[in-house]
Amino acid sequence: MRFRPCIDIHNGCVKQIVGGSLADKGNHAQDNFVSEQDGSYYGELYKSRGLTGGHIIILNPAGSEFYEKDLQQAYSALSAFEGGLQIGGGINDKNAAGFLDRGASHVIVTSFVFRNGEIDEHNLTLMKNAVGKNRLVLDLSCRKRGEDYYIVTDRWQKFTDTKLCPETIERLRDSCDEFLIHAVDVEGKAKGIEDGVATLLGDIEGMPATYAGGISSFDDLEKLKTLGKGRVDFTIGSALDIFGGNMRFEEVCGFDK
Q: Other CB atoms closer than 10 Å to residue 3's CB: what's the count?
A: 23
DSSP state of 96: H
pLDDT band at 18 (very low <50, low <70, confident <90, very high): low
8 Å CB contact between 33 and 243? yes
Question: Which segments of 49-107 does DSSP mark as H helices, in order?
Answer: 67-80, 96-101
How do residues 142-192 score in pLDDT, each as one tens digit? 999 999 999 998 877 889 999 999 999 999 999 999 999 999 888 767 779
Closest C-alpha among 234, 243, 231 to residue 212:
234
pLDDT on residue 25: 63
3-state SS, one letter per residue, for 138-178: EECCEEEECCEEEEEECCCCEEEEEECCHHHHHHHHHHCCE
Domain 6-253: give its CATH code: 3.20.20.70
pTM equals 0.92
**Secondary structure of residue 248 in the 3-state scheme:** coil
Any idea where the domains of the chain sit in the sequence? 6-253
pLDDT band at 131 (very low <50, low <70, confident <90, very high): very high
How do residues 221-242 score in pLDDT, each as one tens digit? 999 999 999 999 999 999 999 9
Instruction: Give backbone dihedrals phi and psi of 102, rounded to 5 degrees, phi first.
Output: -80, -5
Going 195 to 196 to 202 to 206, the CA torsion angle's sign is negative
